[in-house]
Amino acid sequence: MVQELQRACKEVAELEQKSCDLSELMEKKLAEAVEDNEKQLERMEGRYVDKLAGMAKAWERRFAREKEDRKAEVAR
């Protein structure tokens, strides 16, 4: 009877340790996932900022070209 209780206590202790190990692993994996997501968001933000800047420059060129075209028409 005492041996069964000791064995059960040992099993409980082992299960508690495994539970702690799994919790630590899950925390580590979650932290890694959060870090990866943050890096991905930063890359995406950078791409969108670059894309918007490129679009703004394209619009500026277009408006400048249209302005020059209007000037040329008026000069005729």
Q: What is the pLDDT of residue 75?
A: 83
Residue 11 confidence (pLDDT) above 90: yes
Question: Where do runs of H (alpha helix) occur along the chain?
Answer: 2-75
Say if residue 76's pLDDT is above 80: no
pTM: 0.56
What's the whole-number mean pLDDT along residues 36-54? 95
Closest by CA position to 5, among listed 76, 39, 23, 13? 13
pLDDT score of 65 = 95
d(CA 63, CA 71): 12
